[in-house]
Amino acid sequence: MTMTLIATGVSMLSYALMQTMVVPALHVLQVQLRTTPTWSAWILSVFLLTSAASTPVLSKLGDRYSKRNVLLLVLAAYLIGTLGCAAAGNIGVLIACRAVQGVSLAALPLSFGILRDALPEHRLRSGLGLVSGTIGVGAGIGLVVGGLVVDHQSWRWLFAIAAVLILAAMVLVAKYVPDQRNGSSEPVDVPGAVLLALVLVALLLALTQGTSWGWTAKGTLALYGAAVVLTGLLVIVERKSVAPLIDPAVVAGRSLLSVHGAACLFGVASFLFYVLLPAYAQTSPDQGLPGGGTVGYGLGTDVTVAGLLLLPGSLALLPAGQLAGLMQRLTSVRATLASGFAAMAVGAISLCLWNGNGWQLAAGYLVTGIGSGLVLSGLPSAISGLTEVKRTATANGVNTVVRTAGGVVGSQLAAALLAVWHISGSGIPARNGFITAFWIAAAVAASGALLCLAGIKTRTSQERDQQA
């Protein structure tokens, strides 16, 4: 069981690292591949789009056939895409390979499902907390490693490092993860999978491109309209399907809807921090302004130091995940989730009030990181308490996609706020823009706490066993 934990943890770590490790290299990639900012932005966007589009169906396949075997296929595709990125000679090849890499998001719900199958009830919550914590830890380390590699080596090393970790994950999963199958004979809902993928692509493409195209531009509005129409078609198709991909059992009911809503709010708040803190730290207070004077805020750090400021908060996610398991046993999943969101709100408020030097930023994000660890551990535990074993990966897949969509909203919201609040006569964000955004992050986190308290009621282990 310990090696199963390690195998799934390494799988999720490989995804988390690649999610953020590329961020510090975007400008370098733009210069060295002789492309434009618009095309370089697709290095992140296409990864997100294919992640959201592929995760629900891959999760369903894991529940239908074998979570272990589907995870191995996901890791194999992820490795191929990563090696292709390392060898890419132009922006088109790099974007195409990043699209292949996007399937790696499915490793999260598949790993959660594997843990529920493999771990006894008394170890499940701590196991989920430990493995969930690697997501945040990996994301924080990815920012630091990405900055170091960009500063001292070729950007291709980013993908070479990731490839080694993915290969290690494949070996561990193949050797130590048991192949457990539920024996279901349900067919795969291909029409539902296609329609869901199209809905997610249209929605996320509108969110990611709205800043550059304009939120009222014809293309943006057309994508939102297409998402609405496709969602209507998806509902019709799923109601007629004998084995719907979006089963009401994994999305319906007040508690499950509240868990998915909490995941979305968590994604929004998390990416507000990811975008705002490095940007604030890298702003130079001594930078001159066109009309005279200086910017007057920020730390003037480089990419690596800005990433290091996030590292304590990111590392805190791992022990916080273990703390979440203890809190769930002593109180409830609902209280643990609400406490995590409350800690994130406190961290955001701290950043609003104290942001004059590096230790204040690191301390504020440390509190946020502890809260994030509680939430990341609580979400799969809540789903485990609300769904049947045979639907665990599918339900976690939906939750993961919703959290990803929230991340898109959070990153675009941060960018929009900094664009609106800028210093007159320059493109530099004003300090008020950052402070307003931190207050919004606090409000989003507080809303998550209230939603969990009001909307989530998990079942007891005995009730789950009776249903299963």
Beta bridge partners of 429: 422
Minimal CA–CA distance to 316: which of 195, 77, 439, 139? Answer: 139
Amino acid residing at 48? L
Residue 79 sits at φ, ψ, to 5 deg, of -65, -45
pLDDT number for residue 2: 79
Q: Is 260 helix (H, G, I), strand (E, B) or coil?
A: helix
| Per-residue pLDDT, 261 | 94
Per-residue model confidence (pLDDT) at position 90: 92
| Global confidence as pTM | 0.84
Please state at what angle helix 2-21 crosses helix 67-87, rounded to 10 degrees: 30
User: pLDDT at position 254, please?
Assistant: 80
Model pLDDT, residue 334? 93
User: What are the CB-based long-range contacts (under 8 Å, 24+) for 461-468?
Assistant: 461/121, 464/385, 464/388, 467/388, 468/388, 468/389, 468/390
Interval 410-452: pLDDT, tens: 888 888 888 788 887 777 888 999 999 999 999 999 999 999 9
Dihedral, CA of residue 250, residue 262, residue 368 and residue 331, to nearest 10? -80
- 58-87 pLDDT, tens digit each: 988 888 888 999 999 999 999 999 999 999
Distance CA 446, CA 339 (A): 10
Q: Are 375 and 452 contacting, i.e. CB atoms less than 8 angstroms apart? A: no
| pLDDT for the residue 1 | 67
**pLDDT for res 467:** 42
Q: Residue 112: in which H helix or E strand, if any?
A: helix 107-118
Q: Which residues of the chain have pLDDT under 70?
A: 1, 38, 182-186, 246-252, 458-468
Q: How far apart are CA 29 and CA 173, in angstroms?
A: 33
Gap between the Cα atoms of 20 and 14, Å rounded = 11
